[in-house]
A and B are shown apart, each in its own frame.
Chain A
Amino acid sequence: MSDSTATAHGHADEHSPFLRHHFESLEQQADATNFAMWLFLLTEVMFFGGLFTVYMIYRNWYYQAFVAASHQLSVTLGGVNSCVLITSSFTMALAVYFAEAKNKKALLTCLITTFTLGVLFLGIKGVEYREKFEKHHFPGTSYSMEAFTNPASDAVATAAGDKPLPVDVAQRTELFFSLYFAMTGLHLAHMLAGMGILLYMIFRAQSGAYTTGHVSYVEYFGFYWHFVDIVWILLFPLLYLINRH
């Protein structure tokens, strides 16, 4: 077999504790893992995309019911949550910056802030979900469409100026809530996974793992977190802002 080596990689690379031995150089490693992360996010796009497609189809078919059901969601809470997530994306981006700048204290602050904002998001989501349960808007045997057939009985519907819906249209609101819980639930699951990883990263950052110049983990987690944020930014108008005035 030929005897000349492939790429001339720097002396420093060979001894870098971060170079996995199946890669020829840190550059190749970074290139490959970066590509892999984007590809993974593409699979997530396909996953959420399927659900979004289902939502768009039913929203097109049952627009009237979906409008009325959407009015039951709190734009305030949803809007606050959007700000919370966007801010957490900002703090996450800052975390990557500080990791590159090898500023452990700032990195930790940013990571912890991101985590806290995540907790805040979950808390607000919990409040929203609780309200839905209490009003019997969770799909299933205890679902109630009272708020839609008789808006006068419901403060939110009255405030939105909803007209009473016929029974067969009102029945379709359950579909809206099914998709609402499925979509936000899936998003929630991704947030929980992200926060689990974030917790792990906080402990690792504490021991200086990310401030040595090797920032890949923080960077790639940043991608993931931004993706989860973007999904929410798409969810919010789709679910909360149908036909609001």
Chain B
Amino acid sequence: MSHISPVLWQFLIKWLTHFAVFPPEASRIAPQLDALYFFIVLVSLIGLTIVVLLVASFSILYHKNRHPVAVQIEGSTLLEATWTIIPLGLFLMMFVWGAIIYFRVFTPPPNAMNIYVVGKQWMWKAEHEGGQHEINTLHVPLGQPVQLTMISQDVFHSLSIPAFRIKREVIPGRYTTVWFEATQIGTFHLFCTQYCGTNHSQMIGDVIVLSPEDYKAWLASSTSGMSLAQDGERLFASLSCAACHNTRPDARGPSLAGVYNAKLTLANGQKITADDAYLRESILNPSQHITQGFAPIMPTYQGQISEEGVVALVEYIKHLDSDYRVQQTTTTTDMLPESGGKAAPADSTTAPGKVNP
């Protein structure tokens, strides 16, 4: 075989080793989706075969030379019913099966770890809870459900990991989420699949699945020393959020301790759950998300924080589980060099404690 030109051979080898016809199944949902995919392929093949056989056999059997006189047939209600009901039945079956998978892809398990992703022209920024920041790469552990909470800084993007069979639009203005559990160690493609301008084709990256030990090692080596929540704490302090959101009896805003996923009643009577989207909205459009019992005086921070900043704040608030922590933040405010020696609030007597990573 190598008697053919070595140049051609080189190309051939390169192409064959790189030639793929099916993406790897690297997530828990992938085989489930592939089962449905191949079922539809099978049905399509059968359908196509039937049509081709019908057309081909009729064309041959009833060719003018063999069958010179046509027989005028009006139709057959039985046949109409058959080829209406059977396709409909198959399609409905696929619909149900597909809907089940769809819900599975977009309903994360409770133990999913969260990674924030901010898409912008033309890169992906991943923010891990431990404060690791990545660009165009996503390190995840094997066998651990991972939820991606995503938002765009500018236009519509779409995050796609074909090997995991997941894809989700990343839009400006609100969070979208998707989850997966990686089942194979390796490096897989990450694409932006929603046309987003000049360098849309360059907005690609790698998902690197590591074994749990390797992942821990990576976490330790990539941390900037501050967790995402700590970043958020700094922002909370520098934006003076604690001026209203504290535990003083005359506080102008509700205390944020334990607010994440709590059931709240808003000023207009609406009952909501304070999830990520709510937290983000109340920072950027506070007047529509005022808790009952408080005045609509919170200023909007739209335009003053980037989406990554919001992500950090949301992460911080999610981990705020006690009044003590809120007080800590208040103290931290006073300790920040930027605050220029603000006087400590009267009731802040505790010493700075450890911050949760």
Measured CB to CB, the residues of A under 8 A from B are 165-169, 171
A166 contacts across to B, CB distance below 8 A: 286-287, 296-300
Cα–Cα distance between A166 and B296 once the two chains are bound (Å): 7
B287 contacts across to A, CB distance below 8 A: 165-169
Most buried by A among B296, B298, B299: B296
Cα–Cα distance between A169 and B297 once the two chains are bound (Å): 11
Chain A residue at minimal CB-CB distance from B268: A64
B285 adjacent to chain A (CB < 8 Å)? yes
B107 adjacent to chain A (CB < 8 Å)? no
B144 adjacent to chain A (CB < 8 Å)? no
A169 contacts across to B, CB distance below 8 A: 287-288, 296
Main secondary structure of the interface of B (DSSP, over half): loop
A171 contacts across to B, CB distance below 8 A: 300
Q: Which chain B residues (30-87) contact chain A, with CB distance < 8 Å?
A: none
Cα–Cα distance between A22 and B287 once the two chains are bound (Å): 65
State how many angstroms separate the Cβ of A191 from the closest Cβ of chain B. 36
State how many angstroms separate the Cβ of A200 from the closest Cβ of chain B. 46
State how many angstroms separate the Cβ of A52 from the closest Cβ of chain B. 23
Cα–Cα distance between A166 and B287 once the two chains are bound (Å): 6
B286 contacts across to A, CB distance below 8 A: 166, 168
Chain A residue at minimal CB-CB distance from B295: A166
Chain B residue at minimal CB-CB distance from A163: B296
B202 adjacent to chain A (CB < 8 Å)? no
B298 contacts across to A, CB distance below 8 A: 166
B312 adjacent to chain A (CB < 8 Å)? no
B284 adjacent to chain A (CB < 8 Å)? yes
B302 adjacent to chain A (CB < 8 Å)? yes
State how many angstroms separate the Cβ of A174 from the closest Cβ of chain B. 13
Cα–Cα distance between A225 and B331 once the two chains are bound (Å): 70
B288 contacts across to A, CB distance below 8 A: 168-169
State how many angstroms separate the Cβ of B267 from the closest Cβ of chain A. 11
Establish whether residues A168 and B284, one from each chain, have CB atoms under 8 Å apart when the complex forms.
yes
Chain A residue at minimal CB-CB distance from B286: A168
Q: Which chain B residues (294-318) contact chain A, with CB distance < 8 Å?
A: 296-300, 302
B296 contacts across to A, CB distance below 8 A: 166, 169
* 11 A-B residue pairs with CB within 8 Å: A165-B287, A166-B287, A166-B296, A166-B299, A166-B300, A167-B287, A167-B299, A168-B286, A168-B288, A168-B302, A171-B300
State how many angstroms separate the Cβ of A239 from the closest Cβ of chain B. 22
Instruction: List 17 other contacts, CB 8 Å, given A167-B299, A168-B284.
Output: A165-B287, A166-B286, A166-B287, A166-B296, A166-B297, A166-B298, A166-B299, A166-B300, A167-B300, A168-B286, A168-B288, A168-B300, A168-B302, A169-B287, A169-B288, A169-B296, A171-B300
State how many angstroms separate the Cβ of A185 from the closest Cβ of chain B. 26
Cα–Cα distance between A167 and B304 once the two chains are bound (Å): 14
Cα–Cα distance between A169 and B296 once the two chains are bound (Å): 10
A167 contacts across to B, CB distance below 8 A: 287, 299-300
B300 contacts across to A, CB distance below 8 A: 166-168, 171
Cα–Cα distance between A240 and B270 once the two chains are bound (Å): 27
Chain B residue at minimal CB-CB distance from A167: B300
Q: Which chain B residues (256-309) contact chain A, with CB distance < 8 Å?
A: 284-288, 296-300, 302
Cα–Cα distance between A107 and B343 once the two chains are bound (Å): 84
Cα–Cα distance between A165 and B287 once the two chains are bound (Å): 9
Nearest first, the 3 closest Cβ-Cβ pairs linking A and B are A166-B287, A168-B300, A169-B287
B297 contacts across to A, CB distance below 8 A: 166
B284 contacts across to A, CB distance below 8 A: 168
A168 contacts across to B, CB distance below 8 A: 284-288, 300, 302
State how many angstroms separate the Cβ of A163 from the closest Cβ of chain B. 10
Cα–Cα distance between A167 and B302 once the two chains are bound (Å): 10
Most buried by A among B285, B287, B300: B287
Cα–Cα distance between A165 and B284 once the two chains are bound (Å): 15
Chain A residue at minimal CB-CB distance from B290: A166
Cα–Cα distance between A196 and B253 once the two chains are bound (Å): 59
Cα–Cα distance between A168 and B286 once the two chains are bound (Å): 7
Q: Which chain B residues (326-348) contact chain A, with CB distance < 8 Å?
A: none
State how many angstroms separate the Cβ of A150 from the closest Cβ of chain B. 14
Cα–Cα distance between A169 and B286 once the two chains are bound (Å): 9
Cα–Cα distance between A165 and B290 once the two chains are bound (Å): 13
Cα–Cα distance between A167 and B299 once the two chains are bound (Å): 7
State how many angstroms separate the Cβ of A63 from the closest Cβ of chain B. 10
Convert B4-24 into 0s and 1s, putting 1 for each residue whose CB lies closer than 8 angstroms to a CB of A.
000000000000000000000
Cα–Cα distance between A207 and B300 once the two chains are bound (Å): 65
Cα–Cα distance between A97 and B176 once the two chains are bound (Å): 61
Chain B residue at minimal CB-CB distance from A166: B287
Cα–Cα distance between A209 and B302 once the two chains are bound (Å): 62
Cα–Cα distance between A29 and B196 once the two chains are bound (Å): 52
State how many angstroms separate the Cβ of B296 from the closest Cβ of chain A. 5
B285 contacts across to A, CB distance below 8 A: 168
Cα–Cα distance between A169 and B289 once the two chains are bound (Å): 11
Cα–Cα distance between A171 and B285 once the two chains are bound (Å): 10
State how many angstroms separate the Cβ of B326 from the closest Cβ of chain A. 24
Most buried by B among A165, A167, A168, A171: A168
State how many angstroms separate the Cβ of B118 from the closest Cβ of chain A. 22
